Amino acid sequence: MTISYAQQFEDVMLWRALKDVGKGAYIDIGANDPVIDSVSMLFYENGWRGMHVEPMPDCAAKLREARPDEDVLEVAVGSGVEELTLYSFEGTGLTTAVEEHARSHQENGREAELIKVPCLPLSEIFEQFNRRHIHWLKVDVEGMEKAVLESWGKHPARPWIVIVESTEPLSSEPAFEAWEGELTKRNYDFVYFDGLNRFYLHSHHSELEGAFLTPPNYFDRFVLSEHSPFSGFVAGKWNDARKTAERLEHKLEHLQAHHQSVDEARLHLERHVAAIESQLTASQDQLTNERISWTASLEDLQSKFDAKEAALEDLQSRFEAKTAAAEALGTNLQALSQQLALSEQRVASLQHELDNWRAEAFAYRDQSREIFNSASWKLSAPIRWAGSGARGAVELMKAMLRPVIDGSLKLARANPWIKRPILAAANLVPPVRSKIDHFVSIRAPERPPNSVIRTEAWKIAPDSRQVAEWNTLLNSGKSDRSTIN
């Protein structure tokens, strides 16, 4: 089935005349788009190759991309100039060098952009194409047709069929009288008009004239492309269906990708489950071995625990005994603390008494020194010497009486009933009673060991000289003053 891409079925008419040629050649001047409203696309799909002339950069780029095996010239066609200024109307096929046509398009609300492009004559394009046979030539240059055909010059190339847009831009008004002579003088005959284009057949190929007797019809066996203006409704449906198909295809691709990812995830999970099962088996074996080991360890720990518990009970008993002993010790310690407090009070009292005695002794010593150093003491020395003899006699008597008194005291201790008569007799002589009391005090028996106040516990170190002086005074009553000095 043949697909028609051209705007006015130009490709259908040309294909009807040239389909038996095989792989022919063509030149499309003002090619514009490689598919939309293209006269050459039907031929390209059937193996034909040719040259495209398109001055617009974006359209030329599309042609090069879609037809990499064809020649694309990004130039304008004319004679007498090397560069041509064009009015470009983006997104349309209305690009022109005719200022009048450009102004008309601008008045209809279209914006124009001025661009400058190289310009070649048609003779140069024939020369560059360099084919023996050019089966058709199309000229669609928006009002510049005369300039294009005039640039043909004397070049001998004669395309079999020439198609030229022959009305004013965007109008059905004829505009072919100005340039048709350029074709008729080169032996071209008018054979067909489709309402927009005029078809001219060279006299050398007049056998093809029958192909242009009727317009395109059912017997040409063609269908319209989706871009054809005659298939707008169908094209809309087709576009909707195509977009739906694209969405479904995209969704299918997404589902396939998702299905693939699910399969990959399933395989990954299966491998993961297998690995987990393997680890679980190993863990179960390890757990069994550890359970056996733990059982043995638990039994050993139980036996150790029993032994420790027995030891703990024994320790508890001992602790309770120690606690009781500690409580008793605490009670004793409290009692001792009380005794110590009393002892400290007693020591403080005795220390106070000792300090008083020491002060009195120092006073006596100072007084004695004053006396010994006085003139009266020195003058009375003879009298003292005489008294010394008397005192010696007294001391002798004391020495003789001391054993008697000592024995009497022992007798009194052994027989308490005799103590009272002895003391009654001594009271009659106060000096004797004083001696007895003094003798008793220095001969007093040692205090019992359990006494609260113990002599050995006193931390008092009296002056040995003072002790000696006091002993002398206590024993003698009246000391030898010269000895003390």
Concatenated DSSP letters for 136-201?
EEEE--TT-HHHHHHTTTT-----SEEEEE-B-TTS--B--TTTHHHHHTTTEEEEEE-SSEEEEE
Residue 109 has pLDDT above 70, yes or no: no
Mean pLDDT on 465-479: 66
Task: Quickly list DSSP for 53-105.
Answer: E---HHHHHHHHHH-TTSEEE--EE-SS-SEEEEEE-TTSS--BS-HHHHHHH
Alpha helices in 415-463 (DSSP H): 419-427, 430-442
Mean pLDDT on 209-227: 91
Q: Are strands 71-73 and 49-53 parallel, antiparallel or unpaired?
A: parallel
Kindly report which listed range (10-14, 70-74, 127-131, 250-254) carries the lowest average pLDDT score. Answer: 250-254
For residue 316, which phi and psi values (nearest 5 degrees)?
-65, -40
Kindly report which listed range (131-135, 171-175, 282-286, 470-474) carries the lowest average pLDDT score. Answer: 470-474
394 vs 396, higher pLDDT: 396
Residue 447 has pLDDT above 60, yes or no: no
Residue 412 has pLDDT above 50, yes or no: yes
Structural contact between residues 66 and 93, judged by C-beta atoms closer than 8 angstroms: no
One-letter amino acid for residue 23 of the chain: K
What pLDDT, on a 0 to 100 scale, did the predictor assign at position 207? Answer: 95
If residue 479 lies in a helix (H) or strand (E), which one and from where to where?
none
CA-based nearest residue to 129, from 165, 161, 157, 162: 157
Residue 48 has pLDDT above 60, yes or no: yes
What pLDDT, on a 0 to 100 scale, did the predictor assign at position 82? Answer: 79
Average pLDDT, the chain: 81
Residue 483 has pLDDT above 60, yes or no: no
What pLDDT, on a 0 to 100 scale, did the predictor assign at position 135? Answer: 97
What pLDDT, on a 0 to 100 scale, did the predictor assign at position 94? Answer: 63
Query: What confidence tens digit (pLDDT) does each residue in 327-345 have?
Result: 888 888 888 888 888 878 8
Structure tokens of 347? 């020591």
Residue 52 has pLDDT above 60, yes or no: yes
What pLDDT, on a 0 to 100 scale, did the predictor assign at position 92? Answer: 60
Residue 462 has pLDDT above 70, yes or no: no
Confidence of residue 392 (pLDDT cuts 50, 70, 90): confident
Kindly report which listed range (97-101, 185-189, 259-263) carries the lowest average pLDDT score. Answer: 97-101
Three-state SS at 374: coil
Query: What confidence tens digit (pLDDT) does each residue in 241-260 have?
Result: 778 888 888 888 888 888 88
Query: What confidence tens digit (pLDDT) does each residue in 398-410 have?
Result: 677 677 767 776 7
Residue 124 has pLDDT above 70, yes or no: yes
Three-state SS at 25: strand
- Residue percentage of the chain with pLDDT more than 70: 81
Residue 180 has pLDDT above 50, yes or no: yes
User: What is residue 36's DSSP assignment?
Assistant: T
Query: What confidence tens digit (pLDDT) does each residue in 22-42 have?
Result: 889 999 999 989 999 999 999
Using the structure block, give the residue that is written with the tokens 């309770």: 320
Dist. CA 244–CA 101, nearest whole Å? 41
Spatial strand order of the sheet with 49-53 comes to 71-73, 49-53, 25-29, 136-139, 161-165, 197-202, 188-193
Greatest mean pLDDT among 215-224, 228-237, 412-421 lies in 215-224
Query: What confidence tens digit (pLDDT) does each residue in 289-318 have?
Result: 888 888 888 888 888 888 888 888 888 888
Kindly report which listed range (84-88, 141-145, 368-372, 444-448) carries the lowest average pLDDT score. Answer: 444-448
